Chains A and B, each alone.
Chain A
Amino acid sequence: MTNSLRNTELSLLILVSVVIAGAYALASLATDAELPPNLVPFLGVIFGLLMLAHVALRRLAPLAEPLLLPLAGLLNGLGYVFIARLDRDLAGLQAVWTMVGIGAFVTTLLVVRSARVLERYRYTFMVIGIGLLVLPLAPGLGETINGARIWVSLGPMNFQPGEFAKVALAIFFAGYLIDKRELLAMSTRRLGPLHFPEPQHLGPVLVAWSASVLVMVAEKDLGSSLLFFALFVSMLWIATERASYLLVSVVLFFGGATLAWTQFTHVQERVDTWLDPWADPTDTGYQVIQASFSLANGGLTGTGPGLGRPDVIPLAETDFIFAAIGEELGLFGSTAILMTFLLMIGAGLRIALRADQPFEKLLAAGITTLLGVQAFIIVAGVIRVLPLTGVTLPFVSYGGSSLVANYILLALLLRVSHDSTARQLENHRAGAPRRGRATAGAVS
């Protein structure tokens, strides 16, 4: 069984490497009229990096799910091709970040030998998470780029601590909510058909939420704010199985959104632009309108890699990379990206469903939600389904912090996958009369 899972992964990785190298060659043919001189080394590096992750999985988590790594590799590779096509300098950096990301992936698998360990350090992760979140606000450290104060510069390095806060907070939420879920789920008050918990149990939740949202508003990072909120609410709901939390959250969300809309001009601007970008097509509406033109230009089959003009869109290599891909690969390409994310979501949620430990189950569901919601938020912003909120498209956009953080999340997901499969296999081999799920009781 071990071999068949990893062999599936290996053949998918080979396929992914060929697809990426093909796209790279096409884009280079279109822009420079020649095959890239470094095509073979390029193919070698891609394949080498993916193989490094693959071998690490064979050694450290052989029973992990076989689809996720190839899917992430595909997104990462396609993203790289488009970054290289838009900006050669960034491409070099992105290549370095990909190596660091794969390194972080392997390191995470090495260090976190069992997902359960993480549960013990949940409050440590809380401190780390909140610390990372507020770090950009620290005077002398934080930097404002493109209107959002979400950067920290350490010497020559700039990074977005918010991306790593995602990892820490997902772990913290999972640990905390599993710990408290019986209290949180206890319903002493009723309002119509809904059961509400004691206010004091809701307290810490509200505090964590409003702290996170306040920080985000202070940093003007609407996308992350929405992302953290969605992450927290879905994890809370999964943990407590109480629909009343969803209702409260929706009310909170709309209350917070209205408040933000009335209080902050940058929020108003985003909403106005979303409702009617044509009101000011050369300034506030420019970016999203250019993205629409880009996608329209691509049509069904796209202009071909390197043959469109996505460079007209501001931030095409980060927030708007989806429009660049849509223009040059067409509706086929943009749909393929969406499908890739859906496959990742499906694989991630299957891991959550199969996990036998509540903490692992919640962690896997949280990580998957994080990836899915983040992809949704940014694509929706680019194609005007939602107001634009600047977040990266996971694995695809240019950005070191994002890429490294997402590879860590991927490693955690695969760790959970391996652990739960391994335990189930063990129980099965042991021929224990108990059903697989019952092992949950034996652990905590």
Chain B
Amino acid sequence: MNSLSLQRIRGLLRKEFLQIWRDPSALAIAFVLPAALLLLFGYGVSLDARKVDLALVVQTPSPLASSFTSQFADSPYFISHPYSSIQAAEHDMTARTVKGIVWLPSDFSRRARSRGQAPIAVIVNGVDANNARLIEGYVQQVWGTWLTAQIRHSPPLLSVQTLIRFNPSVNSRNYLVPGLIAVIMTLTGALLTALVIAREWERGTMEALIVTRVYIHEILLAKLVPYFVLGMGGMAASVALAVGLFEVPLRGSFWVLATASALFMLTALGMGLLISSFARNQFVAGQIAIIVTFLPAFILSGFVFDIHSMPDMVQFVTHIVAARYLVAILQSVFLAGDVWSVILPNGAALLVMAVIFLGLARAMARKRLD
């Protein structure tokens, strides 16, 4: 079982490449879906609230009140709509035409000038909790700016300087697009591989291959190489689009990215092989691949949702999600540079996972033939 015949492998490789090329559904998963995902995340999806429709209720107009409300007109975060009664504003919030209300009650100017600490009510629609919190944060910024201008004669007690490292413009695209590469590689590495090999088992062509004079490790190798090439090609294309089209900074080196992605790709391929040899049926293989590889890459990897904020039990589970380690490396290499204290431990974890999954897939394949 030690001999590898280049000729046999070349023949098998040719077959695999032709099979991918001629199957429209494989091409759809390998090219169409990744491209759609990149474009959607690059152009469409954003967590940063911009141009929020905000109701400004001023019950008794005064110079002080308008000095406050005019701050909102200058803010890029809001589109302000003036109201004179809180009922009308509440009505529009129920109808979802405004997302939040800033309400200066009728005694606002009088209280502000006499005793101070006049309350300004900020009411946000809390259904989208994340968005609501961001809107509250923006209102606080506006209020802070106004306050500093108001009490110019006596400086504020605190001067707070907030520095956002690595992404000073706080653009959510800069962190979503790099993480997306892990999702795209999961699609080709695990989902596509699992589906295609399950189809061979289903149709019996796998058995047909096995009875020929090729060794099992040659078959596995010939299965791995084309999808590895597809996945790495997808990675390179994604990096090119991210940097060229979406202007995400790439502060680290491409070779670190490529090495980490290659390790991840091997893990994903191992999972794909393993799933297909368990399931042996396209439908089940597809379902399992979505549940154990695609969804975790989306939800449990830190790609969109921060792992620190998850319940302890869920955080524990994320340790067996390979995408987690790649996402950590991707976000750091793109935005922060070659931070070895992030790259080395996560790269080591990827290496361990790649060895485990490929080893398991190899062992399963041998067992099935006995």
Query: Do A and B come together as binding partners?
Result: no
B residues in contact (CB < 8 Å) with A: none
A residues in contact (CB < 8 Å) with B: none
